[in-house]
Copies of this chain bind each other. A is one copy, B any other.
């Protein structure tokens, strides 16, 4: 994909990533390091919880979703990072064997007033499973270079 700048994105534009399948070992390894809750590391204990079995850490779903977006190349070169995210909601458990993909939609474009070399996109992220159910949604701010 050609390098895209702030100016190349249009409000309403959508992108879809490829999929990634989560495995039991991937879920347990990530959770052991960052988020060792029983329903994320212990298959037996997880059965006794409200989730009824092992689920992925929400931080893994989030970071993996961003990796899938990164692989599309849409922010390659022009990304200057993110000031923040809003309204992050984990809507459905993610289980071993689930395949996730991400839908993005550009919601707003705001050129910086003080710094003419950059602008901020508001992007709606929807991370979906193989049944097309939303598992995680959030609104991200993405700082991008402008064409100068």
Contact = CB atoms under 8 A, between A and B. Distances in A.
Contacts of A48: none
Provide the main secondary structure of the chain A interface.
mixed
A112 to B, nearest CB: 12
Interface in A39-87: 39, 49-51, 55, 57-59, 62-64, 66-67, 70, 75, 79-87
Contact of A89 (B64, B84, B89): B84
Interface size grouping (class) on chain A: 20 to 34
Interface stretch (A3-11, A28-36, A95-103, A120-128): A28-36
Interface of A: 33-37, 39, 49-51, 55, 57-59, 62-64, 66-67, 70, 75, 79-90
